[in-house]
A and B are shown apart, each in its own frame.
Chain A
Amino acid sequence: MAVKKRKIPFLLMILFVTLLVLGINLGEVSSVLEKATKLCLSCIGIG
């Protein structure tokens, strides 16, 4: 079984895992939670 090695996907994964961890450490998770648990009327076309 021939295995063709490509580095780009793994470099991308490392980059985006780093961004993900950075975002979590900056407290963005609570920011997402705060927005997602409130009904934004204008966001859904009301008001």
Chain B
Amino acid sequence: MLVLRRWIQIIASVLSNAYWLFPFTRGMYQGNLKAVCVPGLNCYSCPAATGACPLGALQNFMAGVRPSLRAGHQHLGLYVVGMLGLIGSLVGRMPCAWVCPFGFLQELIHKIPSRKFEIPTPLTYMKYVFLGLFIFILPLLVVDGFGYGTTWFCKFVCPAGTLEAGIPMILLKPELRDLIGLLFYNKLTILAVFFAWMVLSRRPFCRVVCPLGAIYSLFNKYSVFRMTHDPDKCTHCQTCYFDCPMGVKFYEDPNHYDCIRCLKCLQESCRFGAISYEFAGVPTPKPVKKGARSISHTG
């Protein structure tokens, strides 16, 4: 299952960034595919990006609500909210584990050997603050003289945008180097901090900051796909917790807001058959146990 997930992560990352002509055109992809939002965090200003970032699109709708209404268009972002809500109500936070390129990157960087640290639980609620403040409230309320807001999360926070768009665009277009200022250095610092944190902790951006993960997480308890826990079989050995890429204690809450449904606990961690999942109320077949490992504390 881990191998399958890795392949799906690779394929999703490549498909989200499949415009490989950018070194020759020195520009970004501008085709019609960009009308569709990708399910993971992937900056649409990345020169190779083939789809739109749902967070960028949502902020743009919030930032442009007033001028849009004045012009007689009711562009409120229903298209993006509907798409994210549909995915969330189907599978909850599963896209974070299977198709998000930035989540994949964090898992790879966390493999760098070092002493590992757990993220304090209160910090994991910060992503809801980022979601409310940077995606909705600030773009909606802080506007210029013409009524336009700005994309606060992209502009001031998003390390994925710096990595996928800011740095490549500066390399592709030398004329942009004159425009680099404090804002860019600030974003580079945020990226560097997160790179270091990714080595030390499991998926820190997903758990502490990501507003997209925060949206999907709201559906974990109400989605068609759900994880299930058998307390009679569970021995609380905590192997699932130590193996979990998000540091979730499955035995405390099988549909925890940070569970990304990677199924690692089901396929590799639990030796006692205490973990399963259901889809539309239909229980899954018994998992293959040959890959289950003995108790390890590797993180």
Contacts and interface: CB of A to CB of B under 8 A. Distances in A.
Given A31-B75, A32-B52, A45-B187, A20 B176 contact: no
B222 A33 contact: no
Given A17-B86, A20-B82, A42 B150 contact: yes
A37 B45 CA distance: 8
Interface residues of A, number: 41
A22 B52 CA distance: 19
Contacts of B222: 8-9, 12
B82 A35 contact: no
B75 A44 contact: no
A31 B215 CA distance: 22
Interface in B248-269: none
Nearest to B150: A42
Given A1-B283, A37-B30, A28 B89 contact: no
B157 to A, nearest CB: 10
B151 A36 contact: no
A29 B56 CA distance: 14
Given A1-B282, A8-B222, A32-B34, A16 B82 contact: yes
Contacts of B61: 28, 31
B166 to A, nearest CB: 4
Q: Chain A: interface secondary structure? A: helix
Contacts of A39: 27-28, 45, 169
A28 B75 contact: yes
B77 interface: yes
Nearest to A35: B60
A2 B282 CA distance: 7
Interface residues of B, number: 68
A3 B81 contact: no
Interface in A1-41: 1-6, 8-10, 12-13, 15-24, 26-33, 35-37, 39-41
A24 B165 contact: no
Interface string B48-87: 0101110011001100100010000111111111111110
B79 A12 contact: no
B5 interface: no
Contacts of A4: 278, 281
Contacts of B150: 42
Of the listed residues A4, A16, A28, A44, the one surrounded by the most CB atoms of chain B closer than 10 A to its CB is A44
Contacts of B4: none
A3 B30 contact: no
Nearest to A3: B281
Interface string B86-123: 10111000000000000000000000000000000000
Given A9-B222, A12-B85, A39-B169, 4 more contacts: A1-B282, A32-B57, A32-B80, A47-B183
Interface of B: 27-32, 34-37, 43-45, 49, 51-53, 56-57, 60-61, 64, 68, 73-86, 88-90, 150-151, 154-155, 161-162, 165-166, 169-170, 176, 179-181, 183-184, 186-188, 219, 222-224, 278, 280-283
Interface of A: 1-6, 8-10, 12-13, 15-24, 26-33, 35-37, 39-47
